[in-house]
Every structure is written in structure tokens, then in C-alpha cells.
Structure 1
Amino acid sequence: MSNKGCIKCGSRDAGQKEVAMTGTGLSKMLDLQHNKFVVVFCKNCGYSEFYNKQSSTASNVLDFFFGG
């Protein structure tokens, strides 16, 4: 039996979104959103994980989320 899926509820129904966030210091004061992430979330319970967009590709973040 495979126990891959959401680590909170076990669901395999996930989605993903891209988000941008400010850093600290001057970038926060100037609202420069240069930190980009891919967020993978469980559509069943809402559990979310952030992945740095620069080091992740869209094809493998769902594998990370499901423990693959």
C-alpha cells in the first residue's frame, strides 16, 4: 500500500500557485517582491508547502509534496 499523498490527510488532490514576497530591509520598505515561490497545497485540508522557484521546476514540486 502506498502512503504517498498529503502528509496531513493522505489526499492526492493537490494544486499549485506561484507567489512573490518581499524580503527584509530595503526591499521590504520599497515593497520589492523578488522572492518567488511555488506553493503546493492540498485541496482537501489546505496543508501547503513553499518551494523556491529558482531551485524547483513545475514538473517536480508535486513529486516533492507527495514524497516521490
Structure 2
Amino acid sequence: MAQQTYECPKCHNHQYDSDQFQATGGTFAKLLDVQNKKFITISCTRCGFTELYRQNTTTGMNVLDFLIGG
């Protein structure tokens, strides 16, 4: 697999930080505090420009998040 190089579309920097976060989606999920939307973030280390990429979740992981209070 070829390695991808990152270039910030704003300042053309090649260094980045990667992280992830979860969010709720829809009224039912909000009522039960289920975070069923997962995203990966890529942030430029120079200017802070951040891109979000949706990560697919499985029903099993959503149920497990609900049961353990994720």
C-alpha cells in the first residue's frame, strides 16, 4: 500500500495531528445519550485547519456504548 502524504489546503504544511471523536445523531440517540456517529480529525500543526472524516460504526458497538455509558 502506498503511503499518502499530507498537504494542508490552506498553508501547504506537511505536518498534521490525527484524533477522533464521537457525537450523537437524531432525537432517539440524544435521549438515550448514545454516541452513534464517529469521526476522524486531521488537523494541520501550523494553521490548525481541520478536516473531518466519518467513520462507520456497527450496531454492536452502538449497543455496547449505550450499555457502558459511552
Query: TM range, normalised to the smaller chain?
Result: 0.5 to 0.7
Give the corresponding residue for 1:43: 45
Note the C-alpha offset of 1:29.
Answer: 2.3
Report which of the two structures shows the higher radius of gyration computed on alpha carbons: 2
Give the corresponding residue for 1:63: none
Q: Helix, strand or coil for the counterpart of 1:50?
A: strand
TM-align CA RMSD: 1.8
Q: Helix, strand or coil for the counterpart of 2:34?
A: coil
How far apart, CA to CA, are the structure 2 residues paired with 1:8 and 1:23?
Answer: 30
Cα deviations by residue, 1:7-34 (Å, 9 ceiling, x for unpaired): 1111011011011001121112222111
Letter in 1 for 2:43: F
TM-score (norm 2): 0.65
Which segments of 5 or more consecutive residues in structure 1 lack a partner in the other structure? 55-68
TM-score (norm 1): 0.67
Q: Helix, strand or coil for the counterpart of 1:27?
A: helix
Note the C-alpha offset of 1:36.
Answer: 0.7
Number of residue equivalences: 52
Note the C-alpha offset of 1:47.
Answer: 0.6
Give the corresponding residue for 1:13: 15
How far apart, CA to CA, are the structure 1 residues paired with 2:49 and 2:33?
Answer: 27
